[in-house]
Amino acid sequence: MNASLESMQSDTVPLLQNGQHARSQPRASGTRSVQPQASPRQRVQRSQPVHILAVRRLQEEDQQFRTSSLPAIPNPFPELCGPGSPPVLTPGSLPPSQAAAKQDVKVFSEDGTSKVVEILADMTARDLCQLLVYKSHCVDDNSWTLVEHHPHLGLERCLEDHELVVQVESTMASESKFLFRKNYAKYEFFKNPVNFFPEQMVTWCQQSNGSQSQLLQNFLNSSSCPEIQGFLHVKELGKKSWKKLYVCLRRSGLYCSTKGTSKEPRHLQLLADLEDSNIFYLIAGRKQYSAPTDYGLCIKPNKVRNETKELRLLCAEDEQTRTCWMTAFRLLKYGMLLYQNYRIPQQRKALLSPFSTPVRSVSENSLVAMDFSGQTGRVIENPAEAQSAALEEGHAWRKRSTRMNILGSQSPLHPSTLSTVIHRTQHWFHGRISREESHRIIKQQGLVDGLFLLRDSQSNPKAFVLTLCHHQKIKNFQILPCEDDGQTFFSLDDGNTKFSDLIQLVDFYQLNKGVLPCKLKHHCIRVAL
């Protein structure tokens, strides 16, 4: 019996030594044993007794048998599955991973509504604007921006697209907030730089040919030395008085001259640094800081939250001068980053050029243009023909509604006629707001040519006013009602061009300049979040 047990153990040793360490001691002779060709299961005879091992040892040998029967595959992670450590990943076996930090940010719209959005720590202002556009179902025309608003300081500025929202919020006081609004003039200086930089305000340390491309290259090239110079009203730190000084803006900072218009180094005094500061608009400079003009700007250090003592307050003589100073500050501070922010939407648009159609709702995308003029209907595949058909259908619909109103059938939506109230559903109509309020909205959303809005007239309850921006100046045009054959029309030119409603009027002047200084291009919009 003992001999049979020894022979049984000697047969099972090679089985356990198949590429693994055996549990039994090695042979004293040191010679290698030749493994039998037959399987261990065939060598075991039924009449031989089986040695009963402990349950734990049987489990260990069974696990060792399973691993030994697998083919020999090299282990790519020996440090994780070595004899001293289990093949299970432990918390300390991998490098510590930094979890993506999230933070709640509250954003306000122009009408006072707000939305709390959960963002990542690395989300930029452009990313947040695109998220808000998606959540509020707006059209993303790359003109939306995030505004840093400080009501207690009377300051606000538009964040650059590459700025991190969480980082900017860390420098804001508790009373400050973010606003979500349009800004059509954000990158307008890349399209028409000559309009933003008057020749008498720009000087160069090297020769320049004065072309538009050379003008921008000098600002974007870090090795060039452009300067903006001119007179500004400067508020003394810690005092209420203002002084008119000769100021120049360079890459190293903003300087004022202590001796007339001299720019010698011994006559220049540093007013503000560009590196750790940002430039803001003064919202109510006359009321809050006794500013001499309405065209105030402020250079605010990032470390300042509520204190007004360290704010560098300045005032220009007109809007074009203020825009020049603020645009130059942005270009000298950020350089090529601004140009990259400007080019990214254009590159995306170029990639989507075959599909460059306006963003529409799902219901609109599921519709097709049809022509039922013949005996059978047909699908209009030509886009130009489809657009003309839509315009004809719109004119026919307005004529039908006008005839119904003449016959005495008024619109069920309003006790008045449809042509006098249909404009209230449009984004460009802002209702009963004052002239000052309309000018403020135009300035906030960018002083670009063709920016407009319509509002009710304060002097004539039956008339309307078109507020339009042209050459950075805001002009107002009164829209008067006129009657013809018992019908009410609206006109901008004393009845020479008549329209049945304000929608037709806006559509016409978007295609034709007419009596206006320019075509209607962009409309001011307020979105509820």
Q: Looking at residue 368, what is its pLDDT? A: 62
Q: pLDDT (tens digit, 9 = 90+) per residue, 169-199?
A: 999 999 999 999 999 999 999 988 888 888 8
Q: Any idea which residue has 């037709």 for tokens?
A: 504
The whole-angstrom separation of Cα 172 and Cα 324 is: 26
3-state SS track over 147-197: EEEECCCCEEEECCCCCEHHHHHCCCCCCCEEEEEECCCCCHHHCCHHHHC
Residue 244 lies in a domain: yes
pLDDT over 90 (residue 313): yes
pLDDT over 50 (residue 134): yes
Summarize the confidence of residues 149-157 as an average pLDDT.
95
Indicate the pLDDT class of residue 425, thresholds 50, 70 and 90.
confident
CATH number (domain holding residue 431): 3.30.505.10
Which is more confident, 157 or 112?
157
Residue 99's Cα: distance from chain center in Å? 24
Among 82-96, 99-113, 471-485, which range has the highest average pLDDT?
471-485
Residue 193 lies in a domain: yes
Q: Looking at residue 433, what is its pLDDT? A: 93
Q: Looking at residue 253, what is its pLDDT? A: 94
Q: Report phi then psi at 190, rounded to 5.
A: -75, -25
Residue 460 lies in a domain: yes
Q: Report phi then psi at 219, rounded to 5.
A: -75, -40
Q: Looking at residue 72, what is its pLDDT? A: 54
Shared-domain flag, residues 327 and 240:
yes
Considering only CA atoms, which of 78, 141, 88 is closest in space to residue 357?
A: 141
Q: Looking at residue 136, what is its pLDDT? A: 87
The whole-angstrom separation of Cα 74 and Cα 93 is: 20
The whole-angstrom separation of Cα 330 and Cα 502 is: 39
Residue 418 lies in a domain: no
Q: pLDDT (tens digit, 9 = 90+) per residue, 344-379?
A: 888 877 776 554 444 443 333 445 666 666 666 677
pLDDT over 60 (residue 60): no
Q: Looking at residue 100, what is its pLDDT? A: 61
pLDDT over 90 (residue 89): no
Q: Report phi then psi at 334, rounded to 5.
A: -105, -30
Give the residue from 307, 342, 377 where a domain finishes.
342
Residues of the chain with pLDDT > 90, as a percent, come to: 47
Shared-domain flag, residues 192 and 178:
no
Domain count, the chain: 3
The whole-angstrom separation of Cα 51 and Cα 54 is: 10
Q: Looking at residue 388, what is its pLDDT? A: 73
And the tokens for 2? Answer: 């003992």
Shared-domain flag, residues 209 and 157:
no
Q: What is the dihedral of CA 328, 329, 334, 338, to 10 degrees?
A: -50
Q: Report phi then psi at 55, rounded to 5.
A: -60, -40
The whole-angstrom separation of Cα 299 and Cα 276 is: 10
The whole-angstrom separation of Cα 292 and Cα 318 is: 11
Residue 509 lies in a domain: yes
Which is more confident, 424 or 236?
236
Give the residue from 309, 342, 375 where a domain finishes.
342
Residue 216 lies in a domain: yes
Shared-domain flag, residues 214 and 162:
no
Residues of the chain with pLDDT > 70, as a percent, come to: 68
Indicate the pLDDT class of residue 290, thresholds 50, 70 and 90.
very high
- What predicted TM-score, i.e. pTM, was given to this entire model? 0.68
Shared-domain flag, residues 327 and 257:
yes
Q: Looking at residue 217, what is its pLDDT? A: 84
Q: Looking at residue 362, what is its pLDDT? A: 38
Beta strands in 81-167 (DSSP E): 102-108, 114-120, 144-150, 155-158
Considering only CA atoms, which of 488, 483, 453 is closest in space to residue 468?
A: 453
Summarize the confidence of residues 260-269 as an average pLDDT.
92
Summarize the confidence of residues 276-288 as an average pLDDT.
93
Q: pLDDT (tens digit, 9 = 90+) per residue, 336-349?
A: 999 999 998 888 77
Q: pLDDT (tens digit, 9 = 90+) per residue, 5-48?
A: 344 444 444 433 444 444 444 444 444 444 445 454 455 445 55
Q: Looking at residue 94, what is its pLDDT? A: 47
Summarize the confidence of residues 235-264 as an average pLDDT.
93
The whole-angstrom separation of Cα 82 and Cα 140 is: 56
And the tokens for 222? Answer: 């870090």
For residue 486, the 8-state DSSP code is T
Specify burial of residue 155 (Cβ count, 10 A radius: 0-12, 13-18, 19+): buried
Q: What is the dihedral of CA 167, 173, 174, 178, to 10 degrees?
A: -60
Residue 3 lies in a domain: no
Considering only 47-51, 383-387, 397-401, 456-460, which range has the smallest mean pLDDT?
A: 397-401
Report the mean per-residue pLDDT for the chain: 78
Considering only 19-33, 392-406, 463-477, 511-525, which range has the smallest mean pLDDT?
A: 19-33
Residue 365 lies in a domain: no
Considering only CA atoms, which of 519, 154, 107 is closest in space to residue 300?
A: 154
Shared-domain flag, residues 196 and 238:
yes
Q: Looking at residue 220, what is its pLDDT? A: 85
CATH number (domain holding residue 124): 3.10.20.90
Shared-domain flag, residues 241 and 273:
yes
Shared-domain flag, residues 488 and 442:
yes
The whole-angstrom separation of Cα 39 and Cα 234 is: 99
27 with 72: CB under 8 angstroms?
no
For residue 500, the 8-state DSSP code is S
Strand order in the sheet with 473-484: 487-491, 473-484, 464-470, 451-456, 522-523
The whole-angstrom separation of Cα 528 and Cα 104 is: 19
Shared-domain flag, residues 264 and 325:
yes
pLDDT over 50 (residue 242): yes
Shared-domain flag, residues 192 and 237:
yes
Shared-domain flag, residues 114 and 166:
yes
Indicate the pLDDT class of residue 385, thresholds 50, 70 and 90.
confident
Q: pLDDT (tens digit, 9 = 90+) per residue, 451-503?
A: 999 999 999 988 999 999 999 899 999 999 988 888 889 999 988 889 988 99
- The strand pair at 102-108 and 114-120 is best described as antiparallel
Give the residue from 151, 182, 213 where a domain finishes.
182
Q: Looking at residue 360, what is its pLDDT? A: 43
Indicate the pLDDT class of residue 412, thresholds 50, 70 and 90.
very low
Domain assignment of residue 239, given as a range:
188-342
And the tokens for 190? Answer: 């890349």
The whole-angstrom separation of Cα 224 and Cα 126 is: 29
Among the residues of 44-84, which ranges form H helices? 55-68
Shared-domain flag, residues 265 and 227:
yes
- The strand pair at 177-182 and 102-108 is best described as parallel
> Residue 114: what residue type?
S
Considering only CA atoms, which of 503, 512, 513, 511 is closest in space to residue 429?
A: 503
3-state SS track over 318-382: CHHHHHHHHHHHHHHHHCHHHHHHHHHHHHHHHHCHHHCCCCCCHHHHCCCCEECCCCCCEECCC
Indicate the pLDDT class of residue 76, thresholds 50, 70 and 90.
low
CATH number (domain holding residue 334): 2.30.29.30
